[in-house]
Amino acid sequence: MVEQVNYPERERNDLLNKNTQPLIKMPIFNNWNIVTKGWYIACRSQEIPQGKAKSLSLCGQRIVIFRGQDYQIRALDAFCPHLGTDLGIGYVDGNLIRCFFHHWGFDGEGNCENIPCSSHIPSQSKLQAYATEEKYGFIWIYPDSKVRYGVAEFDELKDKDLVCIADDSFERNCHHHICMMNGIDAQHLKTVHHLNVKMHLSLKEKQFENMIDFTLSGDFPNITFREKFAKKFLGSSYEYTMRYADACVGMLTIMKNVRFIPPLYMIYAYTLVGVGHCKVQPIYIAVKRKGFFGWLITRFLLYLTRLMYYFLRGEDGMIYDNIRYNPNVLLSIDEPLIKYMNYVNKLEPSIWSKKYN
């Protein structure tokens, strides 16, 4: 069993070997100062019932989330513009959030609608508002008040009744851009997971929604017992797709075009926790089937998806918790990684990105 390396005094490894192995720096990829525009998980939907508010940290920001009497979720910058009280300790009044300190009331667009001790509302009292969406059992926040598209979906699952099961979230000691490349790193499937596969890559990019699909396919090899069994049971070929949305949501579809097993779906949602750390939220997805036997089939597929996930997670975790990513020497087999890095570097930074004078 490989153990995690303990760097001296837990020093960030991107600060090590700076003279002998200088880091390649990119404008957005693996850049801790940039938060791209995209949908980020704030919390589970059930954590915010009607009439409740909660403030939390998300990608370096303090955000207050509240559910009004109309059941709609709203999100604002958390600090009251008056004296800076955290609105999360305030209370919901209809569809407003009121500050606990002086009871100033703000609507979902960040406008101050009422000041109990004054009839005049200063123009500077407006807060930054954020678009929200509830999907897959979570509340998602977009780092802008306007958005062109919603939380990413699997094309073949749109408008279907879904069952979503969220696993426990966990942290990695690297940027989430690096974690997300795991599904398209063909070389490591052979070395780490001993999957002797030969994959052909096809790409499909959706500019409007800032999504890119990596589809990898090939023929099952016929060497080891595991390969022979898979070929006999599943068929002669395999295919899976990794969809990336705004470099913060990864959507994996496996078991495509094989016998006996329908496609399995899983979502990885990523958020930055702080410099050197990211949080990963796995979500397993399946179509809801009718009847008792349909329920059993759905639960079996969700369980199978979870098994596939844990088959890969442990060994990959040892890599990503100790990596100092520096793509100096790339091979032709690394073509998907190069295309992914280029895709990330074309994304748009959000207002949550850090600025230095």
Do 104 and 179 fall into the same domain? no
**Region 14-37: what's the mean pLDDT?**
90
**Do 63 and 87 touch, CB atoms closer than 8 A?**
no
Whether residue 265 sits in one domain with residue 327: yes
pTM: 0.90
Per-residue confidence (pLDDT) for residue 97, from 0 to 100: 98
Q: What are phi and psi of 47, to 5 degrees?
A: -75, -15
CATH of residue 235's domain is 3.90.380.10
Structure tokens at 43: 């919390």
Residues 74, 67: Cα–Cα separation, whole Å: 6
How buried is residue 11: exposed, middle or buried, by Cβ count under 10 Å (0-12/13-18/19+)?
exposed
Q: Phi and psi for 84 in degrees, rounded to 5?
A: 95, 15
Q: Averaged over 25-42, what is the pLDDT?
A: 95
Show the domain range for 60. Answer: 40-142
Question: How many Cβ atoms sit within 10 Å of the Cβ of residue 132?
Answer: 20
Q: Is residue 249 part of a domain?
A: yes
| Radius of gyration of the chain measured on its C-alpha atoms | 23
Could you tell me which residue, 263 or 238, shows the higher pLDDT? 263
Residue 17: inside a domain: no
Tell me: do 161 and 198 sit in the same domain.
yes
Query: Count of CB atoms within 10 A of residue 354's CB?
Result: 12
* Residues 190 and 260 grouped into a single domain: yes
Please give the Cα distance from 272 to 35 (Å, whole number).
8
Structure tokens given for 262: 């329908």
Rounded average pLDDT over 253-274: 88
Mark whether 229 and 334 lie in a shared domain.
yes
Q: Is residue 15 part of a domain?
A: no
Q: For residue 261, tell me if it sits in a domain.
A: yes
Is residue 62 located within the same domain as residue 85?
Answer: yes
Same structural domain, 302 and 159: yes
pLDDT of residue 357: 40
Same domain, 48 and 182: no
Q: How many domains does the chain have?
A: 2
CATH code of the domain covering residue 116: 2.102.10.10
Judge if 227 and 276 occupy the same domain: yes
Q: What is the structure's pLDDT at 9?
A: 44
Between CA 159 and CA 294 the distance in angstroms is 19
pLDDT interval class at 322 (50, 70, 90): confident
Is the residue at 21 inside a domain? no
Q: Which DSSP letter does residue 223 get? A: S
Sorting pLDDT into bands at 50, 70 and 90, what band is 183? confident
Are 102 and 234 in a shared domain?
no
Question: Same domain for 225 and 274?
Answer: yes
Sign of the alpha-carbon dihedral angle for 85, 88, 92, 95: positive
Are residues 237 and 218 in contact, defined by beta-carbon separation less than 8 angstroms?
yes
Q: Is residue 138 part of a domain?
A: yes
**Residue 229 pLDDT > 80:** no
Terminus-to-terminus CA distance in the chain, angstroms? 46
pLDDT at 237 over 90: no
pLDDT over 90 at 306, yes or no:
yes
Distance, in Å, from the CA atom of 222 to the CA atom of 228, rounded to the nearest integer, reads: 5
Least confident range from 44-48, 99-103, 215-219: namely 215-219
What is the torsion angle, in degrees rounded to the nearest 10, for the CA atoms of residue 292, residue 311, residue 186 and residue 255?
Answer: -10
Are 64 and 107 within one domain?
Answer: yes
Q: Is 196 in contact with 227 (CB distance < 8 Å)?
A: yes
Residue given tokens 């899983």 in the structure block: 266
State residue 231's pLDDT score.
Answer: 65
Helix (H, G, I), strand (E, B) or coil at 15: helix
Pairing of strands 277-287, 162-166: antiparallel
- Please count the CA atoms within 13 angstroms of the CA of 357 that sit on its side-chain side: 0
351 in any annotated domain: no
Query: Residue 2's pLDDT is what?
Result: 43
**Domain final position from 142, 165, 187:** 142
